[in-house]
Amino acid sequence: MMGLEAKNITFSYGEEQVFSGLDLQILQGKITALVGANGSGKSTILKNLARILRPSGGTIMLDGQEIQNFPAKHIARKMAVLSQMSEAPAGLRVSDLVAYGRYPWQKGFGLLSDEDKEKIRHALELTSLTELAERDLGSLSGGQRQRVWIAMALAQDSEIILLDEPTTYLDMAHQLDVMQLLSRLNADHCKTIIMVLHDLNQAARFADHIIAIRQGAIIRQGSAGEIMCAEVMRDVFGIAADFFEDPRTGKPVCIPYATCTV
Ligand code: ADP
């Protein structure tokens, strides 16, 4: 099978087991969202998929082969990872950070080839950062900085992009901006996108497939329509909610009205 798959994986931080015997398939060319309460294991699952952490049992398969068997450069060409609230080193310009995305493709001593330069230019253009290319990262707003990280992932030219809560700390306009950008990258550039999201309405609107996690286990997965229901809200988030249909997108939206015990 092409794409990314977790087979029967188990992971612990020291004594603390986060999940065991977890199976998960990421659909190629789709947007998948991992949702669940804080501490349910979403980030840890993402890091296992990205080979940042290694499961103690089971395997992660990339295009039908065990991910551990690939050289690091191959993985970096296949997958770009944006961690939560990535901090950039001070004094770096936008174009410098985006250029880092070319690292897995470079042969020489960090010299950019014409192809590298073209990929960087294109990544800046797609993320509307061309005008800001020479700016110091420290001088940008949170939303702009998040776009720079996405541009870096684009310059990396990988089929798969993994993101951990890409909209955290952004105001509503910038959240929408980032989600619409990711949507376009999926639709127009065939990127497979896997992201941890804590806003279920955002997941319902933008993801093709939602995986709901509680205590390291998949409680349910499916389309927004299959996830947005009283049972999942209660079991996964501990909330009671009302459900509506967004007249604009036709997608379900929820409005929580009370917490409840599972
Ligand atoms: P989520 O992304 O759903 O908030 P995490 O994957 O970050 O959940 O965390 C899952 C569990 O693992 C939590 O109980 C958390 O405290 C623990 N954990 C996360 N990162 C570490 C770490 N680096 N060391 C030890 N425990 C961790």
Mean pLDDT of 107-134: 90
**Strands in the chain per DSSP E:** 4-13, 16-26, 31-36, 57-62, 65-66, 79-82, 160-164, 192-196, 209-214, 217-222, 239-245, 252-259
Instruction: Give the distance, in angstroms, between the CA of residue 203 and the centroid of all CA atoms in the same chain.
Output: 11
Return the ligand 1 atom nearest residue 44 CA. 6
Residue 216 CB–ligand 1 contact under 6 Å:
no
Res 168 pLDDT > 90? no
Going from N- to C-terminal start, the domains of the chain cover 4-227
Residue 36 CB–ligand 1 contact under 6 Å:
yes
Nearest protein Cα to ligand 1, atom 5: 41
The three-class DSSP label of residue 260 is coil
Per-residue pLDDT band at 158 (split at 50, 70, 90): very high
Per-residue pLDDT band at 1 (split at 50, 70, 90): low
- pTM to 2 decimal places: 0.94
Architecture of domain 4-227: 3-Layer(aba) Sandwich (3.40)
Residues 6+ apart with CB under 8 A from 253: 201, 204, 205, 228, 243, 244, 245, 246
How far, in Å, is the centroid of ligand 1 from the Cα of 41?
Answer: 6
Res 262 pLDDT > 70? no
The Cα–Cα gap between 19 and 9 comes to 8
How far, in Å, is the centroid of ligand 1 from the Cα of 196?
Answer: 13
Q: Give the per-residue pLDDT at 119.
A: 94
User: For 104-108, 114-118, 148-152, which range has the lowest pLDDT when averaged over its residues?
Assistant: 104-108
Residue 43 CB–ligand 1 contact under 6 Å:
yes
Per-residue pLDDT band at 169 (split at 50, 70, 90): confident
Res 202 pLDDT > 70? yes
Residue 18 CB–ligand 1 contact under 6 Å:
yes
Q: 60-82 pLDDT, tens per residue?
A: 999 999 999 999 999 999 999 99
Residue 13 CB–ligand 1 contact under 6 Å:
yes
Nearest protein Cα to ligand 1, atom 25: 13
Residue 15 CB–ligand 1 contact under 6 Å:
no
Nearest protein Cα to ligand 1, atom 6: 41
Q: 35-46 pLDDT, tens per residue?
A: 999 999 999 999
Instruction: Give the distance, in angstroms, between the CA of residue 70 and the centroid of all CA atoms in the same chain.
Output: 21
Q: Give the per-residue pLDDT at 75.
A: 94
Per-residue pLDDT band at 90 (split at 50, 70, 90): confident
Mean pLDDT of 92-113: 87
**Across all residues in the chain, what is the average pLDDT?**
93
Radius of gyration of the chain (CA): 19
Per-residue pLDDT band at 86 (split at 50, 70, 90): low
Res 94 pLDDT > 90? yes
